[in-house]
């Protein structure tokens, strides 16, 4: 059994609710290094698994690593990482202050488990004592507004952007695609509150689903609503489908969009990433709606009130 599978098997149960069970899993590390081509150097995911159960979720493979079922268990066996704040404090001492860190890249940091176990909040409390870090956080949950005061403190000392994912404004489509995630209107309301609190906030319609959420009209509506709510920027990229995500997404298409299923199989069956002209067309479409609504492509840099420059190596050497 590999290390993470053994740790999952040894995890003590925190609580069981309906079909969802919560576990506490020991972690050796909280900061995960990314591949060099990513816009951030490190990621933090306080939970493994995610109750929101988005049909396209790419992170399902993480449960496969633990020897669990990547379809059902991913949504029903949620693992909260133990001692995340202590480990983070220790690990931060070893990495350059300028390294960008992203929270919630694999699983949602404000999924329902956070209401009970507060692992994301504990991580933010660590950053509220740091200075000069470059941080971002991504979520599709309005629970993020619970931590507005804490996020403001983090943003006073570090560069922070909050990215809210809204794939569509169509409530019934969102319910199909993301069955247990907060409604799009609640996410927009979260954008409003975060922006009103002076935080840097953007909206990501990710993943953009070919022939489902990719029309110019749908993206345009979303951009307009994001702008009206106070978002500063709009991102967006086409869906990629890892094999573990295909196992859930293809049957979902078969049931709800039967005409699309063979087309998706044909395009994604061989490769998780779309090839050809489509990714470029989507990028152009997003760029057009972004421009139309006066949104940026990413968070504008700002200098936090309590910023601290990273000490220069040369000066350190003189100490
Ligand atoms: S919110 Fe994110 S992590 Fe959770 S199921 Fe949806 S895509 Fe996956």
Ligand 1 cavity residues, CB under 6 Å: 50, 52-54, 57, 59, 107-108, 140, 178, 181
Which residue has the least CA distance to atom 1 on ligand 1? 108
| Distance separating alpha carbons of residues 24 and 1, to the nearest angstrom | 19
pLDDT at 61: 82
Whether residue 253 is predicted with pLDDT greater than 90 in this model: the reply is yes
pLDDT at 124: 98
pLDDT at 318: 43
CA of 287 to the centre of ligand 1 (A): 25
Beta strands across the sheet bearing 100-103: 32-33, 42-44, 100-103, 134-139, 159-165, 200-204, 233-234
Closest atom of ligand 1 relative to the 50 alpha carbon: 4
pLDDT at 40: 94
| Distance separating alpha carbons of residues 201 and 163, to the nearest angstrom | 6
pLDDT at 310: 74
Per-residue pLDDT band for 2 (boundaries 50, 70, 90) equals: low
pLDDT at 301: 87
Average pLDDT over residues 157-185: 98
Dig out the tokens for 159 from the structure: 């560069």
Average pLDDT over residues 130-145: 98
CA of 89 to the centre of ligand 1 (A): 26
Which residue has the least CA distance to atom 3 on ligand 1? 107
Q: Per residue in 296-311, pLDDT tens?
A: 999 998 999 998 887 6
Which residue has the least CA distance to atom 7 on ligand 1? 57
| Distance separating alpha carbons of residues 10 and 24, to the nearest angstrom | 9
CA of 51 to the centre of ligand 1 (A): 8
139 C-beta neighbours (distance < 10 Å), count? 24
Which residue has the least CA distance to atom 6 on ligand 1? 54
CA of 279 to the centre of ligand 1 (A): 22
Which residue has the least CA distance to atom 8 on ligand 1? 57
CA of 189 to the centre of ligand 1 (A): 19
- pLDDT averaged over every residue in the chain: 92
CA of 50 to the centre of ligand 1 (A): 6
| Distance separating alpha carbons of residues 165 and 202, to the nearest angstrom | 9
CA of 193 to the centre of ligand 1 (A): 22
Cα–Cα separations (whole angstroms), residue 313 to 56, 92, 319: 44, 17, 10
Per-residue pLDDT band for 319 (boundaries 50, 70, 90) equals: very low
Per-residue pLDDT band for 69 (boundaries 50, 70, 90) equals: confident
Average pLDDT over residues 215-227: 98
Average pLDDT over residues 171-195: 98
Q: What is the pTM of this model?
A: 0.91
Whether residue 11 is predicted with pLDDT greater than 80 in this model: the reply is no
């Amino acid at each position: 059994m590999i290390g993470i599978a053994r740790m999952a098997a040894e995890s003590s149960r925190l609580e069981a609710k309906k079909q969802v069970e919560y576990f506490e899993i020991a972690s050796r590390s909280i900061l995960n290094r990314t591949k060099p081509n990513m816009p951030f150097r490190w990621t933090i995911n306080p939970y493994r698994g995610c109750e929101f159960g988005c049909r396209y979720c790419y992170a399902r493979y993480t449960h496969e690593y633990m020897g669990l079922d990547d379809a059902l268990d991913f949504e029903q066996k949620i693992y909260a990482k133990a001692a995340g704040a202590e480990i983070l404090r220790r690990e931060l001492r070893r990495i350059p202050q300028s390294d960008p860190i992203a929270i919630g890249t694999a699983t949602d940091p404000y999924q329902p488990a956070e209401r009970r176990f507060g692992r994301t909040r504990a991580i933010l409390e660590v950053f509220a004592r740091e200075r000069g870090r470059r941080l971002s956080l991504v979520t599709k949950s309005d629970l993020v507004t619970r931590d507005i005061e804490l996020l403001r403190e983090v943003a006073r000392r570090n560069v922070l952007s909050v990215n809210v994912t809204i794939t569509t404004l169509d409530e019934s489509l969102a319910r199909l695609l993301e069955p247990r995630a907060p409604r799009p209107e609640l996410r927009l309301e979260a954008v409003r509150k975060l922006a009103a609190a002076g935080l840097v906030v953007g909206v990501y319609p990710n993943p953009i689903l070919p022939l489902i959420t990719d029309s110019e009209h749908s993206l345009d509506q979303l951009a307009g609503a994001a702008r009206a709510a106070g978002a500063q920027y709009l991102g967006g990229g086409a869906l990629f489908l890892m094999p573990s995500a295909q196992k859930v997404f293809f049957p979902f298409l078969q049931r709800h969009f039967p005409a699309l299923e063979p087309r998706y199989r044909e395009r994604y069956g061989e490769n998780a990433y779309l090839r050809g002209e489509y990714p470029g067309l989507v990028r152009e479409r997003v760029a057009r709606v972004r421009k139309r609504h006066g949104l940026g492509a990413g968070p504008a840099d700002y200098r936090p009130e309590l910023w601290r420059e990273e000490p220069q190596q040369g000066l350190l050497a003189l100490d």
